[in-house]
Amino acid sequence: MSIFRKKSPLPIPEPFTADDIKVEASICTGERTVGFYDRATKKLMCAELVRSDKDIADFYRKYGLEYTGNQK
């Protein structure tokens, strides 16, 4: 028995798909965020701060997706 439990992936929020994940960077500070891009409102939903490429990979893994490093 392990003391660490494997977390099950979160469901991708409706109406998004894996293709809707986008990384945006601030023009002023260069701060990056990753989230699901809503084309209707032109905003990132479920956005998280990105400090490294590992954070992007963790975002994908959180939703049960595989990050290959060549996404937009």
First to last CA, the chain: 40
Decide: pTM greater than 0.85: no
Residue 52's pLDDT is: 93
Residue in this structure with the two tokens 């660490």, named with its chain if needed: 4
Strands 43-50 and 32-38, by their bridges, are: antiparallel
CA angle 31, 34, 37 (to 5 degrees): 120
Burial of 20 (0-12, 13-18, 19+ CB in 10 A): middle
- What does the pLDDT look like over 31-71, one tens digit per residue? 999 999 999 999 999 999 999 999 999 999 999 999 988 65
Tell me: pLDDT of 72 over 60: no
Distance CA 7, CA 38 (A): 27
pLDDT (0 to 100) of residue 2 = 64
